[in-house]
Amino acid sequence: MDNKILTAADGMWLTNGDTFGKTVTLPPLADASVWYEITEEEKLKREEIKYENQLESTN
C-alpha cells in the first residue's frame, strides 16, 4: 500500500483538530477523513486558544 499525501489548497491549512500543516503524509492504514481544511485566520484563532490553554496549565 502507498502513503496518502494530503495537500492544503492555497491559503488553507490541514488539521485533525490538534495539529496543523500544509501537507499531511498518512501511513497506509491511517484514516484520512479526520483531516480537514481551515483558513489561515481560523488556524491562528485555534492556535491562540490552544496556547492560552497551555499557558493556563502552567499555573
Partner 1 sequence: MSIAEKLTTIAENQQKVYDAGYAAGQAEGGGGGLDEFWDKIQNYGNRTDYSYGFCGKSWNDDTFKPKYDITATAWDQNNVFSMCGIKNLTAICEAQGIKIDLTGAMRCTGMFSTTDLTHIPFLDFSVMAPGTQTTTAVFQNSFSIKRIEGIKVSREGVLKYDGWFTNTMNLEHVLFYGEIAASLNIAATPKLDEESVQSIIDCLADLTGQATQTLTLHANIALSDDQKATISSKNWTLVQ
Q: How far is the CB of 53 from partner 1 (least distance, A)?
A: 9
Residue with cell 492556535: 47
Residue with cell 492555497: 10
Q: How far is the CB of 41 from partner 1 (least distance, A)?
A: 18
Total of chain residues touching partner 1, rule CB under 8 A: 25
CA distance 55 to 25: 30
Rule CB under 8 A: say whether 10 interacts with partner 1. Answer: no
Name which of 41, 39, 36 is nearest 18 in CA terms: 36
Q: How far is the CB of 58 from partner 1 (least distance, A)?
A: 3
